[in-house]
Amino acid sequence: MSTTFLTIADVAERLQLSAQGVRALILSGDLPAIQVGARHLWRIPEDAFDAYVEAQLARTRSLVAAGNLDNES
């Protein structure tokens, strides 16, 4: 098994969020992650990140189709 892992900083940069925002996604269970090493650093499997993004895109498409989007940018 060859899995690539992303750091919180990697995900924050890709989603243009703060590190705390990414931690909130992890702690809510929305973004699967593991803790590794003695310092219990978070690592996000790249395939889990990709699945999260795809799920959010599908959710947004559904909201747009239903006309239920707010005007937040």
Which pTM value belongs to this model? 0.84
Question: Model confidence over 37-71: pLDDT tens digits?
Answer: 999 999 999 999 999 999 999 999 999 998 877 65
Range of the domain at 52: 5-66
In a domain, 53, yes or no: yes
Report if residue 44 sits inside a domain: yes
Q: Per the domain annotation, does 56 fall within a domain?
A: yes
Question: CATH no. for residue 50?
Answer: 1.10.1660
Residue 38 to residue 55: CA distance in whole angstroms: 32
Residue 73 lies in a domain: no
Q: Is residue 59 part of a domain?
A: yes
Count of domains in the chain?
1
- Order of strands, edge to edge, in the sheet holding 41-45? 5-6, 41-45, 34-36
Note whether residue 42 is domain-resident: yes
Mean pLDDT rounded to a whole number for the chain: 93
- Kindly state whether residue 72 falls inside one of the protein's structural domains: no
**CA distances from residue 19 to 3, 9, 10, 67, 71 in whole angstroms, order as listed:** 22, 6, 9, 31, 24
